[in-house]
Amino acid sequence: MKTLIAVLAAALLSSQALAADRVVKCQVNTYKGSCVFSPDTPKGSFSLANPDKDKPLNEGITLVSVTVTEPGLAEVSGLTAEGINSRWGEAKRSSKDKACWEGEDFKVCAW
Each residue's pLDDT, cut to its tens digit, for the chain (111 residues) gives 444 333 334 444 444 444 489 999 999 999 999 999 999 988 899 999 999 988 898 888 999 999 999 999 999 999 998 999 999 999 999 999 999 999 999 999 999
- pLDDT tens-digit profile of 39-64? 998 889 999 999 998 889 888 899 99
Q: Which pLDDT belongs to residue 1? A: 46
Q: Which pLDDT belongs to residue 73? A: 98
Is 99:91 a contact under the CB 8 Å cutoff? no
Q: Which pLDDT belongs to residue 8? A: 35
